[in-house]
Amino acid sequence: MHGIPSILPLKVSELRFAVREKQLVRGISFQLFDESRTVIIGPNGAGKSLTLRLCHGLLKPTGGEIAWTGPASSNVAKRHAMVFQRPVMLRRTARANLIHALSVAGVERSERPGRADAALAHFGLDELAERPARTLSGGEQQRLAIARAWALKPQVLFLDEPTSALDPAATRAIEQMIHAIHAEGVKIVMTTHDMGQARRIADNVLFLHHGQLLEQTPADRFFDEPQTEEARAFIKGELLW
């Protein structure tokens, strides 16, 4: 989003999320400044998805603060989009799913078809346009979900384990899309528990364990010189939850 006023930095302070007294996110603080790719990693149940959902505004924190503090921070809701582990598609064509998302986002009716077609073309999905979205393969649906998010022109794209249900070929296609979107200047914030994927994508890493942020560091440093026992064990594949 070169040249467009930014909603970043995102400042997360002492973020907490509890359900029935159970502390699931325990006072996490971090800041996202720029368009580098931030990967949130950690074992199952670490709080990765919850952290992403809190930042995207799908959940309300039970404590702490999430503040978008950039010059364009007055209308942030339309500037960040999210892709989920399992895409939700309506019972209509791929193209109609894109048009619907644009409608929900408040895009003018006259602009929707052109923006939907541009998104399909941008990612080489034209041939899927008239297929019922729910009959597409898991990999095709996820590519469509990313194209749908891209069509909203976000400055920040949250992706929650976008390839965890996919085979290696589909995973590669999704990673290529993520690289392409990042190359256009979109900030990527993604969760994964796949270390190989984290190494391929991350510029910087947030490492979570049991709802706490144990490390926040450039990716090279995280993989070469992890600072905590937990991160060392996780990198070796020995820390499972």
Stretch that binds ligand ATP, among 44-52, 72-80, 90-98, 175-183 (CB under 6 A): 44-52
Spatial CA neighbour of 138 closest among 177, 169, 179 = 169
Residues constituting the chain = 241
Stretch that binds ligand ATP, among 28-36, 47-55, 136-144, 165-173 (CB under 6 A): 47-55
Q: State the alpha helices, DSSP H only, in 48-137.
A: 48-56, 94-104, 112-122
Stretch that binds ligand ATP, among 40-48, 109-117, 136-144, 229-237 (CB under 6 A): 40-48
Nearer to ligand ATP, 40 or 107 (CB): 40
Minimum CB–partner distance for residue 83 and ligand ATP (Å): 14
- Spell out a b/e string for 118-130, using b for 16 or more CB atoms within 10 Å of the CB, else e: ebbebbebeebbe
CA dist., res. 222 & res. 37, Å (int): 14
Stretch that binds ligand ATP, among 38-46, 66-74, 107-115, 125-133 (CB under 6 A): 38-46
Spatial CA neighbour of 83 closest among 19, 177, 15, 213 = 177
Number of residues that bind ligand ATP (CB under 6 A): 13
Minimum CB–partner distance for residue 57 and ligand ATP (Å): 16
Query: Alpha-carbon torsion 213, 217, 223, 228, what sign?
Result: negative
Nearer to ligand ATP, 86 or 134 (CB): 86
Using rule CB under 6 A, residue 49 touches ligand ATP: yes
Using rule CB under 6 A, residue 61 touches ligand ATP: no
Compute the C-alpha angle 60/51/230, nearest 5°.
145
CA dist., res. 24 & res. 85, Å (int): 20
Using rule CB under 6 A, residue 24 touches ligand ATP: yes
CA dist., res. 72 & res. 152, Å (int): 16
Nearer to ligand ATP, 44 or 110 (CB): 44
Minimum CB–partner distance for residue 77 and ligand ATP (Å): 22
Stretch that binds ligand ATP, among 5-13, 43-51, 170-178, 230-238 (CB under 6 A): 43-51
For 159, which DSSP code?
A: E
Spatial CA neighbour of 142 closest among 112, 113, 178 = 178
Minimum CB–partner distance for residue 25 and ligand ATP (Å): 8
Which residues contribute to the site for ligand ATP (CB under 6 A)? 19, 24, 42, 44-50, 161, 191, 193
